[in-house]
Amino acid sequence: MAAPALVRTENLNVELGGLPILKGIDFELRAGEVHAITGENGAGKSTLAKVIAGIYQPASGSIFLDGAAVTIKSPGDAIAKGIALIHQEPLIFPDLDVASNIFVGRMPRKATMVDHAEARRRADIILKQLGVSFDARSDVGRLSIAEQQMVELATAMSEDAIVWIFDETTASLTPKEVAELFLIIQELKAKGCAIAIVTHHLDEVFEIADTVTVLRDGTKVAERAIHDLTQPELVSLMVGREIEQQHIKSAHASPGAVMLSVENLVGPGYQGVSIEVREREIVGLAGLVGAGRTELARSLFGITHPSSGVVKVDGNAIHVKNPQHAQALGFAMVPEDRQQHGLFPNLDIGYNASATILRANSTVGWLNQGKLRQAALSILESFRTVYRNLAQPVSQLSGGNQQKTVIGRCLLQNPKLLILDEPTRGVDVGARREVHQFLRKQADDGKAILMISSDLPELLTVTDRIYVMHQGRIVGQMPTGEATEEKIMALAFGGKA
């Protein structure tokens, strides 16, 4: 701990698209130290890593390297200053061989020609140090993700990096590959490099790190030596905000019959999932990004297909063929990514609000335009959507009003089951509250609602029951009355409640 700071940030502020992402961060990374940067989704941990690696520029504040104030102009500049960033998804040239990837842009030369033989010789020396099973001639595109990350590591080594930043590097690795990576990190540490790892895996923090910095909503809430800290303490540091909203209660004493029942479902991104959603009930699905929640929702809606297991609707086993079939079964879905999967951005609000009820409002294929218009107007009205007229392109609306349009379109179908994936992401606080109350009203009217959210206060406010997913499996469930953010996070991180 006494070692001098190799990298130091002072009052660092970062804005992306006009929104503050990092606020007044003082961060120190010392030689011979493994420093974990952790926090919830959206806390700003990757942003901090990217600023130090020259990908983002700070709005204000200073960065010191070895005591001297510096400006890190670009990723190339960071590399020149000895700072290496290892990405979650390796940035590689898949069609080139390993040696060309390692020395890209600075291949050794003989006269004016690129000297491939020399590049391969030097690359093989580094690869041998890393103890990998491929050589400099291998095509990078054929390597596994873990091996491609080793190529990134080799690149950084060939550049004599002294500051190493691992940005969620373990996310796509197997446990064995993680162990191998940690061995290399230990070696780098022994050599006196400064190492930062961005992660939200608590077990990794306790396994490899010496120090941990916790970020929450863009501010630094704590920096602790790892041996002063327990896992529950770390979780409460990460979550630790006030629960500002009151639970929106069901008007009914108990939910109705089981509407959707999933038994031991296995499919792309999830395994052995069993859940139930009842009428008049809002069920939450918590977990980290990548826990398999969205994948499960996509299969329920017929976008992808489970390989085994049973889905029952009102007690009857069914196989959802495609979204049209899902709609016929009474399902509606609000997708996670509004821009990619929800909106028709250049088309008008009327189109967007009524896209799911075209067939219901047509006679032998001829649209009943008056009825469609009325339906769109009434749902937008009941949701208090702010817009000028139905002919306005939906892309001109605010995020909250866009989301109301997408949710409204799903409700126009009058579904029995409503699946919502991150329904209030990017939606401002006021609109959020309205969406929540509206969902409760829908449930009280008899709908079954399954809501995926990474926003814990949201789940605690709206739902009746919460399932927690971790690495594709359901790892716990609890009535919302008994749930706390700490309990859910501990399960989501793979620990015990």
Partner 1 sequence: MKRPEWIPAILSIAVFALFWYLSKDFRDIPYLISNTTILAETGLMAIGMTLIIIAGNIDLSVGSILVLTACLMPKLAGHASAPVAILIAVLLGAVMGGINGIIITKAKLPSFLVTLATMAIYRGIAKAMLQADSAEVAPNVKGLDRLSLLGMPYPLVIFLVFALVIGLVLHRKVLGRWLFGIGTNSEAARYAGFPVDRATITAFAVSGALIGIAAFCMDSRLGVARPDMAPGIELQAITIVVAGGTAISGGKGTMVGTLLSWLLMYFVTTGMGVMNIKAEYQLTIIGLILIVSVFGQQVATSIASHRLPKPTKLSTKP
Q: Point out which residues bind partner 1 (CB under 8 A).
A: 16-19, 39-47, 198, 200, 289, 301, 303, 323-324, 326-327, 333, 335, 339-347, 351, 355-356, 358-359, 362, 365-367, 369, 393, 395-399, 409, 425-426
Query: In terms of CB distance, is 293 or 465 closer to partner 1?
Result: 293
Q: Are 481 and 227 in contact (CB under 8 A)?
A: no
| Residues facing 97 on adjacent strands | 139
Q: What is the 3-state secondary structure (H, E, C) of 375-428?
A: HHHHHHHHCCCCCCCCCCEHHHCCHHHHHHHHHHHHHHCCCCEEEEECCCCCCC
- What is the rounded CA–CA span in Å between residue 410 and residue 414? 7
**Nearer residue to partner 1 within complex by CB, 307 or 369:** 369
Contact 379, 411 (CB under 8 A): yes
Task: Using the minimum distance from each CB to partner 1, give the nearer residue, 103 or 383.
Answer: 383
Toward partner 1, which CB reaches closer, 58 or 342?
342
Q: What is the maximum span of the chain, computed from C-alpha positions, in angstroms?
A: 83
What is the nearest approach in angstroms of partner 1 to the Cβ of residue 342? Answer: 6
* Least Å from the CB of residue 164 to partner 1: 19
Rounded to a whole number of angstroms, the minimum distance from the CB of residue 429 to partner 1 is 15
At position 289, the amino acid (one-letter code) is: V
C-beta of 162 vs 419, nearer to partner 1: 419
Q: How many other CB atoms sit within 10 Å of the CB of residue 55?
A: 17
Alpha-carbon distance of 178 to 112, in angstroms, equals 41
> For the chain, first and last CA: distance in Å?
33
Among residues 199 and 477, whose Cβ is nearest to partner 1?
Answer: 199
**Smallest gap from residue 249 Cβ to partner 1 (A):** 29
* Cβ proximity to partner 1, 324 vs 382, nearer residue: 324
Q: How far apart are CA 460 and CA 452, in angstroms?
A: 12
Q: Are strands 219-225 and 258-267 parallel, antiparallel or unpaired?
A: unpaired
- For partner 1, give the closer residue by CB, 82 or 292: 292
Rank residues 191 and 321 by Cβ distance to partner 1 and give the closer one. Answer: 321
Closest distance between partner 1 and the C-beta of residue 380, in Å? 17
Smallest distance from partner 1 to CB 140, Å = 25
**Taking the complex as a whole, how short is the minimal distance between the CB of residue 33 and partner 1, in angstroms?**
22
The least CB distance from residue 1 to partner 1, in Å, is 27
C-alpha distances in angstroms, 442 versus 212, 303, 335, 373, 485? 43, 25, 18, 22, 25
Amino acid identity of 180? E
Q: Which is nearer to partner 1, 101 or 170 (CB)?
A: 170
By C-alpha distance, which of 6, 192, 172 is closest to 87?
172
Contact 194, 33 (CB under 8 A): yes
Residue 39 or 58: the one with the smaller Cβ distance to partner 1 is 39
Neighbours of 307 (CB within 10 A): 11
Cβ-contact 45, 38 below 8 angstroms: yes
Give the contacts of 486 (CB within 8 A, at least 6 positions apart).
232, 235, 236, 239
Q: Measured between alpha carbons, how far is 389 from 377 in angstroms, rounded to an integer? A: 9
Q: To the nearest whole angstrom, how small is the minimum distance from the Cβ of residue 301 to partner 1?
A: 8
Closer CB to partner 1, 57 or 71, in the complex? 57
Smallest distance from partner 1 to CB 358, Å: 5
Smallest separation (angstroms) from partner 1 to the CB of 42: 5
Q: Which is nearer to partner 1, 18 or 105 (CB)?
A: 18
Q: Which of 481, 406, 399, 450 is nearest to 286 (CA)?
A: 450
Distance set, CA 318 to CA 19, 27, 73, 309, 436 (Å): 45, 54, 56, 11, 30
Q: Tell me how far, at minimum, the Cβ of 256 lies from partner 1, in Å.
A: 25
Measured distance CA(157)–CA(160) in Å, rounded? 5
Q: How far is the CB of 116 from partner 1 (least distance, A)?
A: 34
Q: DSSP characters for 182-241?
A: HHHHHHHHHTT-EEEEE---HHHHHHH-SEEEEEETTEEEEEEEGGG--HHHHHHHHH--
